[in-house]
Chain A
């Protein structure tokens, strides 16, 4: 059968990044096609090319066999391509019915909207999606899951031939997931092509027919999902060939920490930070983590498994429903990053640009920012003290800047990352949470940052290391906790800290 939508050798370049490199993918009528890949694999970019948000720099898009150019998202919608985004894209203050039928409201006399007929039709349509509610109420009164169903119902009812779902289950209850799968199968049976993006492997195997794996902007694999074992799928996503994993290390950690005898970790020492039962609906499900002085604890797992969320919950940057964080024997006040920093727990966030550096300030100001309260008397900051701290850390971390007064936005990604490290080291933390500390920085800077983590741990700092780079994780960490769907599903230490073991732990059936 002819594909309804096909990408042929699509390339898309952003400044400094080749986000898609000759990717081909064909969507056939009546199939559910899984699209998977880790962060930066190019999934979102590909979806945006399909939906007319981005225009490819190379390659061709075929719609029902004919070359197609989608100038805007509207063009794609008119061609029958509907998208359900992770965040619900509806109007919260408008009623459920109006959201569902906006632009297609039933008309009465004089072309005026027939409200009665509209409510009736909306109620009938939504009942088919398992949403029983008063459709007159504002959309925001519904739970996220029901809102998602409204979005789905809307997308499908606009005569869709292709439905693209971007992480549709990330905020659904199990019962709602069941309903969603029922709807997806119904769509498939009626000849609609569904593209399903998710990190939850169980779901992929439940509902998808074929799978396409992207990695670093390239096509890594495409084929029948049932023919692919979980472990194979994971190794494709993470880019680690099962056979060749054992090889000489490429990272700059002084040695494989977990194998080296006499690392600075004292197994009897009290943990510097201990998190117990961190829980947040849909995100974290009772995560326990502890880090001892001088220990590097790695958090492994696929994207969306709850690694970043664990780190954020520990420093109080994300509200939690349950659990507590204990630092030095005392529970930390929840929801306060200030309290966490004061207790000696700092987070180097994943998204350097949005959550880390302040681009309009200088290197000096960026470094001093978090430490300001400790650099003065009675709230008046001492310039000399700042200068001293900034100088120490710029030298120590080998930050390459023209002067401390250079704008931080003018530095390379690696040096920006070092500035952030300096910012947190300046407050003299007991434990540092590093979320993807080497992502997006060049090889040289990466090696320097890795070496630095080693040094800091040797001096007694506790480190929680989050990395999608398995090699970095395995060689950098003393102990690794593997997360899946917001829960710790395995702890690896000593000889067990290997890439295969991590992947195997991720791949285990949720019920196994």
Chain B
């Protein structure tokens, strides 16, 4: 492998991580408060929910698909968890997972069996689930409060100054890495995204793999919503609008190709943290409103996509 190839490949896979390290370094030097533990902890904690959803999205995008319903499912999961918490911890977890899993199954079956475009199917899911959530909460007028202390502790309890969701995210990310890199299922996801027709000819169960990917994405979105409800002690209905786009942005910034077939969990986690750090840095600057965070994230995303295009061209030439 030539050194040029090596460089372009490393950039593709670990570019987000490298930029993240650079930004953290710059931030630490520029702002005293940036590197303080409570600031770092708040970035990590608030990123963890996005990260959980992004793990599922990584599988979806590598398989060549897209899942627009995760923002709505995140909210639905939160509302159902808060509602279910009056019946105890178990219901507070099972209810959102069951509901979201079902939506994911439905979307997955439609996409895999009819060959309809994932964009359209999950857009329908986004709208449908949002409507369902509004109906459950009387158009947002009713906010369910988390009644069960054990469930609330799941979102608020701390070890070493970091809340439980951070550890849950780390655990899920590690499991997802093994699943993606070291199991037949993971290989099938790459193969389908890389060349679906070839995958089918190589004996990959295309339909069932796709269904599993969408179920997983929906389950993780629901879980993130439930954990968020536990953290906030209520099922807030106004969050989560447009969240799917942040998730997709994080995954793509992390080096996963939107066209499918390549990518990974490490990059996604780096991408999520990168978005969090950009937000935090803009808060430090002070006189910039947080709206600028989106401008910067958008610019960064554009940069990454252009860079990916150039890198893959460079790889093909060499």
Q: Mark A97-127, 1 if CB is under 8 A from B, else 0.
A: 0100011010000011101000000000000
Interfacial chain B residues near A140, Cβ < 8 Å:
316
Q: Is B201 an interface residue (CB 8 A)?
A: yes
Within 8 Å by CB of B1, from A103, A105, A134, lies A134
From known contacts A77-B203, A140-B316, infer whether A89 and B184 are also in contact, taking CB-CB under 8 Å: no
Q: Are A93 and B261 in contact (CB under 8 A)?
A: yes
Q: Are B183 and A91 in contact (CB under 8 A)?
A: no
Q: Give the Cβ gap from A284 to chain B, nearest Cβ, in Å.
A: 23
Q: Is A501 an interface residue (CB 8 A)?
A: no
Q: Is B142 an interface residue (CB 8 A)?
A: no
Q: Is A333 an interface residue (CB 8 A)?
A: no
Q: Give the Cβ gap from A499 to chain B, nearest Cβ, in Å.
A: 40
Interfacial chain B residues near A392, Cβ < 8 Å:
none
Q: Mark B178-190, 1 if CB is under 8 A from A, else 0.
A: 1001111001101
From known contacts A73-B200, A92-B194, infer whether A113 and B1 are also in contact, taking CB-CB under 8 Å: no
Query: Which residues of chain B in 198-250 are interfacial with respect to chain A, using CB atoms and an 8 Å cutoff?
Result: 198-204
Within 8 Å by CB of B182, from A89, A93, A94, A115, lies A115
Q: Are A113 and B183 in contact (CB under 8 A)?
A: yes
Q: Give the Cβ gap from B315 to chain A, nearest Cβ, in Å.
A: 8
Q: Is A369 an interface residue (CB 8 A)?
A: no
Which range contains the number of B residues in contact with the other chain?
Answer: 20 to 34
Q: Is A292 an interface residue (CB 8 A)?
A: no
Interfacial chain B residues near A111, Cβ < 8 Å:
183
Chain B binding surface SS class: helix
Q: Give the Cβ gap from B133 to chain A, nearest Cβ, in Å.
A: 38
Within 8 Å by CB of A91, from B178, B198, B316, lies B198
Q: Are B190 and A93 in contact (CB under 8 A)?
A: yes
Q: Is B92 an interface residue (CB 8 A)?
A: no
Q: Are B195 and A102 in contact (CB under 8 A)?
A: no
The complex places the Cα of A464 from the Cα of B195 at a distance, in Å, of 39
Residue of A nearest to B201 (CB): A89
Q: Is A90 an interface residue (CB 8 A)?
A: yes
Which range contains the number of A residues in contact with the other chain?
Answer: 20 to 34
From known contacts A90-B195, A90-B198, A91-B261, infer whether A105 and B178 are also in contact, taking CB-CB under 8 Å: no
Q: Are B187 and A98 in contact (CB under 8 A)?
A: yes
Q: Are A89 and B195 in contact (CB under 8 A)?
A: yes
Q: Are A105 and B198 in contact (CB under 8 A)?
A: no
The complex places the Cα of A327 from the Cα of B188 at a distance, in Å, of 52
Q: Give the Cβ gap from B46 to chain A, nearest Cβ, in Å.
A: 33
Q: Give the Cβ gap from B28 to chain A, nearest Cβ, in Å.
A: 36
Interfacial chain B residues near A94, Cβ < 8 Å:
187, 190-191, 194, 261
Interfacial chain A residues near B182, Cβ < 8 Å:
112-113, 115
Query: Which residues of chain A in 33-77 are interfacial with respect to chain B, using CB atoms and an 8 Å cutoff?
Result: 73-74, 77
Q: Are A102 and B1 in contact (CB under 8 A)?
A: no
The complex places the Cα of A154 from the Cα of B202 at a distance, in Å, of 9
Q: Is B262 an interface residue (CB 8 A)?
A: yes
Within 8 Å by CB of A90, from B181, B202, B262, B316, lies B202
Query: Which residues of chain B in 157-199 are interfacial with respect to chain A, using CB atoms and an 8 Å cutoff?
Result: 178, 181-184, 187-188, 190-191, 194-195, 197-199
Q: Is A186 an interface residue (CB 8 A)?
A: no
Interfacial chain A residues near B316, Cβ < 8 Å:
140
Q: Give the Cβ gap from A411 to chain B, nearest Cβ, in Å.
A: 31
The complex places the Cα of A112 from the Cα of B194 at a distance, in Å, of 22
Query: Which residues of chain B in 259-306 are interfacial with respect to chain A, using CB atoms and an 8 Å cutoff?
Result: 261-262
Q: Are B1 and A137 in contact (CB under 8 A)?
A: yes
Q: Are B202 and A103 in contact (CB under 8 A)?
A: yes
The complex places the Cα of A134 from the Cα of B316 at a distance, in Å, of 17
Interfacial chain A residues near B194, Cβ < 8 Å:
91-94
Q: Are B187 and A92 in contact (CB under 8 A)?
A: no
Interfacial chain A residues near B191, Cβ < 8 Å:
91, 94, 102
Chain A binding surface SS class: loop
The complex places the Cα of A90 from the Cα of B184 at a distance, in Å, of 16
Q: Mark A206-229, 1 if CB is under 8 A from B, else 0.
A: 000000000000000000000000
Interfacial chain B residues near A158, Cβ < 8 Å:
203
Interfacial chain B residues near A74, Cβ < 8 Å:
203
Q: Mark A139-157, 1 if CB is under 8 A from B, else 0.
A: 0100000000000001000
The complex places the Cα of A137 from the Cα of B318 at a distance, in Å, of 13
The complex places the Cα of A111 from the Cα of B194 at a distance, in Å, of 24
Q: Mark B1-19, 1 if CB is under 8 A from A, else 0.
A: 1000000000000000000
Interfacial chain B residues near A90, Cβ < 8 Å:
195, 198, 202
Question: Interface centre among A92, A103, A112, by most B CB within 10 Å?
Answer: A103
Residue of B nearest to A72 (CB): B200
Interfacial chain A residues near B190, Cβ < 8 Å:
91, 93-94, 98
The complex places the Cα of A89 from the Cα of B195 at a distance, in Å, of 8
Q: Give the Cβ gap from B248 to chain A, nearest Cβ, in Å.
A: 20
The complex places the Cα of A77 from the Cα of B203 at a distance, in Å, of 8
Q: Are B184 and A103 in contact (CB under 8 A)?
A: yes
Interfacial chain B residues near A113, Cβ < 8 Å:
181-184, 187
Q: Are A103 and B183 in contact (CB under 8 A)?
A: no
Q: Give the Cβ gap from B108 to chain A, nearest Cβ, in Å.
A: 21
Residue of A nearest to B195 (CB): A91
Q: Give the Cβ gap from A152 to chain B, nearest Cβ, in Å.
A: 13
Interfacial chain B residues near A98, Cβ < 8 Å:
187, 190
The complex places the Cα of A74 from the Cα of B204 at a distance, in Å, of 9
The complex places the Cα of A288 from the Cα of B182 at a distance, in Å, of 55
Q: Give the Cβ gap from B127 to chain A, nearest Cβ, in Å.
A: 31
From known contacts A89-B195, A91-B261, infer whether A105 and B201 are also in contact, taking CB-CB under 8 Å: no
Query: Which residues of chain A in 9-35 are interfacial with respect to chain B, using CB atoms and an 8 Å cutoff?
Result: none
Q: Are A93 and B202 in contact (CB under 8 A)?
A: no
The complex places the Cα of A140 from the Cα of B178 at a distance, in Å, of 25
Q: Give the Cβ gap from A133 to chain B, nearest Cβ, in Å.
A: 11
Interfacial chain A residues near B199, Cβ < 8 Å:
91
Q: Are A89 and B197 in contact (CB under 8 A)?
A: yes
Q: Are A92 and B195 in contact (CB under 8 A)?
A: yes
Interfacial chain B residues near A154, Cβ < 8 Å:
202
Q: Mark B249-263, 1 if CB is under 8 A from A, else 0.
A: 000000000000110
Residue of B nearest to A95 (CB): B190
Q: Which residues of A contact B (CB under 8 A)?
A: 73-74, 77, 89-94, 98, 102-103, 105, 111-113, 115, 134, 137, 140, 154, 158
7 more A-B residue pairs beyond the given contacts A89-B201, A102-B187, A113-B182, with a C-beta to C-beta distance below 8 A: A91-B190, A91-B261, A94-B194, A103-B204, A113-B187, A137-B1, A154-B202
* A-B pairs with beta carbons under 8 Å apart, 23 shown: A73-B200, A74-B203, A89-B195, A89-B198, A89-B202, A91-B190, A91-B199, A91-B261, A93-B194, A93-B262, A94-B194, A98-B190, A102-B187, A102-B202, A102-B204, A103-B184, A103-B187, A103-B204, A113-B181, A113-B182, A113-B183, A140-B316, A154-B202
